[in-house]
Chain A
Amino acid sequence: MADNPVQVNGRPESTSASWLERVRNRDVQAWESFVRLYSPLIFYWCQKCGLPAADAADIGQEVFQAVLAGIGKFTRKGSGSFRGWLRVITRNKVQDFFRKRTKIFGGDGDAGYDLNSIPDHLNSNDTFEQDEERILYQRAIELVLLGYRETTQQAFLRVVLEREDPSAVALDLGLTVSAIYQVKSRLLRRLREEFAGLIEADFE
């Protein structure tokens, strides 16, 4: 597991398990991190299926309700990624929604809601997985940056995501080089500890 980011110095952080545990124990902070991290992705899935933004909020609420209801039941026996589980829940909720709509509006005459195309949209493939990961990591970075000063945010974005030379960034922002390394270290650590596990979470 050379590229498993949650393994640090041989110590598995097992963030997924601890996160699941925390939500099971009704830890509001764990719940909020989860909601804030995954809302953009669920919204994205809904849009992929052709749901209007207004309906996405309804579906989103149902998905999160289902997570709340279902997470306690999860046995360690089940396998597969947490994201996959969430994707299935979302797809089911969207399908329910369209089924209801189809009943009301009748058949395939309702352009824009193509029931048959939904499973394909949400079936996983490589590009799709990459899009999902991008959305999650972008959100995670946003969340980690929240609350930091503008210069700190700039330092992180420029050094890590634009690969600029730390010395040049330091000079530009009026910081010391060691402060730049500190920002990089601290924010990467928070990304790993608070979100990477949640993004990569698997049911073992």
Chain B
Amino acid sequence: MNDSRDIRGRSMNSSVVELSAELCPDIPTLVAYQSGQLSAPDSEQLAGHIETCRLCTSTLRDLVAGPMDPFEAKLLRLCGGKDSIRSTKEPPYRQLEARALALALGDTLPPNVPAGDTTDFSLGFTGVLGPYTLQDVLGRGGMGIVYRAEHRTLRRPVALKTLYGGVEPRLGSLLRFQVEGEAIARLDHPNIVKVYDFGESGDQQYLAMELIDGETLSKKLASGPLECDHAVRLVHALAGAVGYAHDQGVIHRDLKPSNVLITRDGVPKIVDFGLARILRDAPRLTATDAVMGTPNYMAPEQADGRVNDINEQTDVYALGVILYETITGGPLFAGDNKLDILRLVRVGNIISPRQLCSNVSLDLEAICLKCLERSQRDRYRSAHELRQELECVINGTPVIAKRPTRWQLLGRRVRRRAPVALAVLLVAGCLIGAVAAWMPKLVVSTVPNGESESVRRELEAELDKGRPATLVGETGYPKWFRWRAGKDSQRTHIEPDGTFSAEMIRPHVTGVLELLPDPRTDRYKLTAQIRHDVGGSGGFVGFYVGHRSYPREPTDIQIFHEIRFNAVTASAVAGLTPPRDPLGAKGLIVMPKAGATIPMALMTQLMTDTIDSSAMGAHLNIEPGARLTALGPRNGVWFDVEMTVTPDEIVAQLAGSVMRLTRQQLTADGFTLGRNLTYLRVNHPDDAVLHNLRPEFAPRGGAGLTLYPNAAASVRRVTVTPLPVDR
């Protein structure tokens, strides 16, 4: 084709495309053009010519109608026809794609598979167990596998639960198994799953139960809290069943939402009554309590290992946790790991339900908290008593929990104001567990309303005078605060050492806690101390300045500059080694190696406070600092943070590392990852606000704390100091 002739017989070298109005390209060049094989500049130049050249246009018409080039033919063969290409907003692989994209950004999103599923115990599956034929696996609990099975002679369908494969049968446990098994099999209540049969085959113990068509309460709660009325009726029914079992001398010991089945007709039924006790002596089971599942529903006496104190009120406590979770939709205690949760159970620092869900009545809150009292004698004496109280709520008659609990609340508030004394008390309480009289009562944090107009004015008045304003003191809540993002997925409390702590409790939701809406000057310094208490590989925490909102439906676009770090967890992402130049002008970013440390970074974030399809988030630039060694959860290490903001730059210091973003980098054109903004626009083609967004650096803007999903941090000594202009 190098020496081909064009249609008018002129010779032309097609590898060098020279075009002018007078000179038409040869046919191979036109062929290459219309099938997209010319380089971009050549194509654009040629397009300009074709627009004005009728000859080329008509030649193209013939060429397009003629034989196709192989690539085009392939596209037609593979994707031809109407509607072959249809862009759906929510394709099924969206989640997969989102998680893979996040990998390059050094964040892992939490996986779906619960960590417990990797527990390594297997069961030889024979299809037959005693008189039962196994048909299907229904699920796996902490104690064994549940099968759909059928009694071969009775033809009765059952749920058959194997109790831990391969356990050496010991005389003691076998005896207990039989004796207690009889008591359990005698239970007959509409809200208790009927146990038909205990038995063993080989060394495999099993129990056969009523087969329920329905789902567990835990699954139901995964989609959100229940209406208060519904929750009250549910726990009322459960309390009735638990009371009945107590009357028969059986304590459940392991009540939790996953042990409550809801039938298709909405009838709650409790499973696994008394099983925890039967299995107490199974050797491998007690050796690793962790196998038993979450300690979230353990009463303090169980968390302390005071086995002899376990009684009916232990079940009352668990009913209280179930009530708490059904009305608030969140866990009573959220922690990084089981030990963490156990610690929280022992300390008993509970956020009152009304702080999380304003629909909860005072009466219902009082009942819930009375169940959750640390000391057994402060709880309801029996499940029946709890049931009667809930009945009063249903009927609208006065409850007995109300007055005393409110008196106690008053007392607790006093304690909250003397946190150091409380800490001593708590430590004493934990250490000298035997001295029951010293046991502190339940601690209920009452979250103050942070948005006090007068406090904000006081802070601003100080700043206007050029004086430092303290946003968070040595201990206690911030002087002023409001959640700009993640309000429904956070909780705050005062740590035993008196410091303020905030945590994000749901996956995917990032928290932005504003501590000051406006520093009143464009030159200032923010100083703070922060302790990173909990966080997974994506669970960063940090401080931000220069927060701006761009109004948009359903939620604003927020842009701010933050210094963020992770001192708890090293990255779990297997990735590439960090580049020599960690952040070139092309916007390369650091991909941490497996088990590597995560670098801290000063970055500009764009995000929205939503988790639906309108949600968006991107780094607009990133300036990495030193890498922090993972210290693990509850490491107790305080980091000094300093952010100096002027109209020319933001300089952040953390753990001896200095990061800087200049004004040039902070303008729309200077964003090193401005491409991220382009991607957002492509993914949200209809978002007018996003498309018109020209983010510019404004040093004056909100300042506060950021918390990434499932992260918790304590902060203190947060101060904003205006800087003189001549600095």
What residues of chain A have their CB less than 8 Å away from a CB belonging to chain B?
2-3, 5, 8-10, 24-29, 31-32, 35-36, 39-40, 42-43, 53-58, 60-61, 64-66, 68-69, 72, 100, 103-111, 130, 133-134, 137-138, 141-142, 145-147, 157, 159-163, 165-167, 176-179, 181-182, 184-193, 196
Contact = CB atoms under 8 A, between A and B. Distances in A.
B424 interface: no
Given A142-B85, A145-B87, A182-B50, A61 B36 contact: no
B394 interface: no
B136 A161 contact: no
A43 B35 contact: no
A199 to B, nearest CB: 10
Interface residues of B, number: 86
A68 B96 contact: no
A78 to B, nearest CB: 19
A126 to B, nearest CB: 13
A60 B96 contact: yes
B391 to A, nearest CB: 40
B140 A105 contact: yes
Given A25-B579, A61-B99, A190 B85 contact: no
Given A9-B32, A26-B589, A39-B93, A111 B51 contact: no
A165 B575 CA distance: 49
B122 to A, nearest CB: 5
A184 B36 contact: yes
A59 to B, nearest CB: 8
Given A103-B121, A188-B71, 6 more contacts: A26-B588, A35-B101, A138-B85, A165-B65, A186-B36, A189-B40
Contact of B137 (A10, A68, A110): A110
B677 to A, nearest CB: 13
B596 to A, nearest CB: 12
B84 A9 contact: no
Contact of B112 (A35, A54, A103): A54
Contacts of B111: 57-58, 61
Interface in B649-705: 673, 675, 679, 681-682, 685
A10 B81 CA distance: 32
Given A26-B588, A40-B91, A105-B140, A163 B80 contact: yes
Nearest to B60: A181
Interface of B: 14-15, 32-40, 43, 47, 50-51, 57, 60-61, 64-65, 70-72, 74-76, 78-82, 84-85, 87, 91-93, 95-97, 99-101, 103-105, 108-109, 111-113, 117-125, 127, 134, 136-137, 140, 145, 147, 573-577, 579, 586-591, 594, 673, 675, 679, 681-682, 685
Contacts of A55: 112-113
Q: Which secondary structure dominates chain A's binding surface?
A: helix
Q: What are the 4 A-B residue pairs with the smallest beta carbon separation, nearest first? A: A188-B36, A107-B125, A189-B36, A60-B96
Contact of B589 (A28, A179, A184): A28
A100 B117 contact: yes
Given A109-B125, A137-B74, A68 B50 contact: no
B80 A8 contact: no
Given A105-B137, A137-B79, A189-B40, A196 B71 contact: yes
Contacts of B105: 28
Contacts of B92: 43, 53
Nearest to B91: A40
A188 B64 CA distance: 13
A163 B75 CA distance: 11
Given A130-B78, A181-B64, A188 B72 contact: yes
B137 A106 contact: yes
Contact of B36 (A58, A72, A147, A187): A187
Contact of A182 (B47, B76, B112, B122): B47
Contact of B85 (A66, A141, A177): A141
Contacts of A29: 587, 675
A142 B89 CA distance: 12
Contacts of B43: 185-186, 189
Contacts of B123: 106
A193 B588 CA distance: 21
